[in-house]
Structure 1
Amino acid sequence: MNATVADLMRRNLLDVFSEPDAERRNAAIAVTYAQDVVWHEPDRVNRGREALARRAAELLAQSPDWVMRPDGPVSVNDDLGHLAFHYGPAGQPPIVTGMDIARCKDGVIIELYTFVNGSSQPA
């Protein structure tokens, strides 16, 4: 059964980018993204599931006590999904906000764009 766009957006945020366990994260990657997924970050482009998995592991290692949290519901428009997020230490106000926009096809994400707004903390 194919996942909905909303399911994929939640899985992307919670089961991949908030999952510290590599085995569970890799299992989620296998069912969430196309083999040749392209992930656009503000400073780089990651091509393929393996590159996405490596980068997700890097991000989690950089801030092991931080978690991604949805900032509102998933928005869907045909094959596009949008989900805003908060990112920061568990149980604390977010340090970073942003959003993911994904193009989906046949029950997987084929292209992902991540926008980061930077710190949400007062200067």
Structure 2
Amino acid sequence: MTSTVADLMRRNLLDVFNEPDAGRRNAAIAETYAEDVVWHEPDRVVRGREALSVRAAELLAEQPGWVFRPEGPVSVTDDLGHLGWVYGPAGEPPVATGMDIAHCKDGVIVDLYTLVSEAPRPS
């Protein structure tokens, strides 16, 4: 089954970066990303599925109980996907907002770009 760009964007956010179970997360990584995927974070570049898996586990460990939530629908133009998101403690206002932009090819993400900003604080 070939995943659509929209499917890949949702799986990237929810099935990888929200998944605490390493086995399920790694299965999703294998189905979502090219073996040689390149992920551009604001402070680093991660190369390959294995390194992406390690980094996803680090992010989950840094903020236990925090979750990503989609902010609006996935936007798709040709082989590019965009999904805005919010991030913070489950059930509470977000602490950060951002977006993922992915270049997809042959039913997997080959390049992923993550942009992050702080969420506005209530006055």
TM-score (norm 1): 0.97
- Structure 1 segments (4+ residues) deviating >4 Å: none
Alpha-carbon distance in 2 for matches of 1:121, 1:52 = 31
Residue in 2 that maps onto 1:114? 114
Corresponding residue for 2:89? 89
Aligned to 2:48: 48
Q: CA deviation at 1:64?
A: 1.1
State the one-letter code of the partner of 2:65.
D
SS in 2 for 1:82: strand
Helix, strand or coil at the partner of 1:120 = coil
Q: 1:79 and 1:47 mapped to 2: Cα distance? A: 20
Partner of 2:69: 69
How far apart are the structure 2 equivalents of 1:71 and 1:31?
23
Where does residue 58 of structure 2 map in the other structure?
58
Distance in 1, matches of 2:6 and 2:120, equals 25
Structure 1 unaligned segments of length 5 or more: list them: none
Cα offset for 1:122? 4.0
* Equivalent in the alignment of 2:5: 5
Deviation at 1:72, TM superposition (A): 0.2
Gaps of 5+ in 2: none
TM-score, length of structure 2 as denominator length: 0.97
